[in-house]
Amino acid sequence: MKFSLTQKLTNKQAIIGIVGLGYVGLPLTIRFCEVGYKVIGFDIDPEKVTVLNAGKSYIEHIPESLIQNAIGHGFEATTHFSRVSEADALILCVPTPLNQYREPDLSFVTNTTDSLLPYLRPGQVVSLESTTYPGTTDEELLPRIESTGLKVGENAFLVYSPEREDPGNINFTTRTIPKVCGGYTPSCLEVGLALYGQVIDRVVPVSSTRAAELTKLLENIHRAVNIGLVNEMKMVADKMGIDIHEVIRAAATKPFGFVPYYPGPGLGGHCIPIDPFYLTWKAREYGVHTRFIELAGEVNSSMPDYVIAKVTAALNSLKKSINGSRVLVLGISYKKNVDDMRESPSVVLMEKLRDLGAEVSYSDPYVPIFPKMRQHNFDLSSVQLSQDLIAGYDCVLLATDHDRFDYDLIKSSAKLIIDTRGRYLRESSQIFKA
C-alpha cells in the first residue's frame, strides 16, 4: 500500500485534502494546484468557503488570480468532512493557541482529527503542520487514527511537517522555503517525502515526528529569545540616552557572529508569542525548568506596559493625562505590510489605552474594519490620514510601521509621536522612542 500511495503522489494523481484554509492552508493549497494536483479544501467557516469558491481572496497578500487559477485546476472548498474519503493525503493546518492559563490548547487539532475519523480509509496519509509540543503526533493523532482499525505504517501513514509560512515576505514562498518532515515510521517518512517532494524545492527529512515538532519550536524560540534580549537592551539603551536602532544598525555591519533582531511593542503572530510556552509546558513533564526561555517570555510580555509608560510620560510632558486624551494608533496588524491580526501587540496597546480612559482610534491600510476576534472587541474602522486629522490627536502611537504610511506627513502634523519601531531615525522634541 505504501508503494501505490507514493506512486500516486509522485505522479500527481493523488487528491490532496487541505484541512484549514487560513494563512498556512491557503498558500499550500495554491502550491499543490500549481503543479497539477486536485485539491479539496476543508474549513468549518462557511463564509470563507463561499468566498474561496467564488474565486475571491480574503487574505490581503494572496491575490484573487491565484485563487482563480487554483479553481481552474480543480480546487474546491467545502465544509462537508464526509468528502475526506476522496482524498489520498490529508494535511491539517489548524490553529494551536494557548488557553487562559497560557497552556497548550490542542482542541482544534484533536477536534479536527475526530471529525476525520469516520471517513478515513486505508491508503491515506495524514500530515499535521500545526505548531505543537514534541509528542503531539504520536500521543494524540496516532491512537485516534488507529482506533478506526487502521494500522499506521502499514495501511495508513502519519507524518509531522511544520509550516514555515511568513506572510508578506516576498523573498520566500511556499515553494522555496525548505520543509522539514518526520514520519512515525520509516514507511510514513517515505510517504511524507513523496507528498511534499513535488511541491517544495527542498524537503528535509528527520528521524521522527518528535524531532520535527521540536525543530519548529527551536526555530521560533530562537527568535523569541533574541527578541527578548534586544527588547531588554532597548530599555537599557533608553535609560542611557542611546538609540538602540542606531546601535543595531552599526552592529549588523559585522560580517560574522551577529544577527540583527529588532525591538518592538510586543510579540505578535501565530508562532513567536505562543510556541515557547508549548515547550516549557511539555518540559515540565520531564522535570525540566526552561528558565532562559521563560525569562525571554517575561520580557517580551512586558513590552506593551513599557510602551504605555512611554505614552504616559510623553503626554505628561505636555501637561496632559492619558485619561481623556485622543490617541491614534498607527498599524494594528502584528507585522508590517500584512493584514494578519493574530496576537497583535497593537490590540493589547489599544485595550490598555482604552482602559486608562483614552479615546482610541486607529489607521491601518490593511485592516479597514476592526475584525471580529475571540478575545478583543473594538467597534472601529480605520481612519484616513490627513494633516488636519493627525493634528487633531493628542498623541500618535506608531505600533506597526507599514510602508504605506506617509511618515513625513505624520511627522509634520502630529503633536506627539511615540515610535515603537525605530522608523524615525533622528529624534525631535515631539518624537519619543518606545
Which positions are catalytic? 271
At 98, phi and psi to the nearest 5?
-105, 150
Burial 121-147 (b: 16+ CB within 10 A, else e): eebbbbbbbbbbbbebbbebbbeebee
Those residues with Cβ within 8 angstroms of residue 95's Cβ, 6 or more apart along the chain or in another chain: 20, 22, 108, 130, 270
- Cα distances (angstroms) measured from residue 425 to each of 40, 244, 254, 408, 432: 49, 10, 21, 12, 11
Ramachandran region, residue 36 (left: φ > 0; alpha: ψ -120 to 50; beta: rest): left
Q: Which helix (H) or strand (E) holds 433?
A: strand 431-433
Q: Which amino acid is at 408?
A: D
Q: What distance in Å separates the CA atoms of residue 425 and residue 401, rounded to the nearest whole number?
A: 13
Q: What distance in Å separates the CA atoms of residue 204 and residue 188, rounded to the nearest whole number?
A: 14
Residue whose grid cell is 510514513: 188
**Residue 357 CB neighbour total at 10 angstroms:** 11
Q: Are 209 and 184 in contact (CB under 8 A)?
A: yes
Cell of 91: 494535511
Closest CA relative to residue 93, chosen from 125, 126, 120: 126
Q: Give the CA count within 13 Å in the CB-facing half-sphere of 182.
A: 21
- Cα distances (angstroms) measured from residue 48 to each of 85, 165, 275: 22, 20, 26
Q: What distance in Å separates the CA atoms of residue 324 and residue 177, rounded to the nearest whole number?
A: 48
Q: Are 151 and 185 in contact (CB under 8 A)?
A: no
Q: Which amino acid is at 386?
A: S
Q: What distance in Å separates the CA atoms of residue 50 and residue 21, rounded to the nearest whole number?
A: 12
Q: What distance in Å separates the CA atoms of residue 425 and residue 379, rounded to the nearest whole number?
A: 34
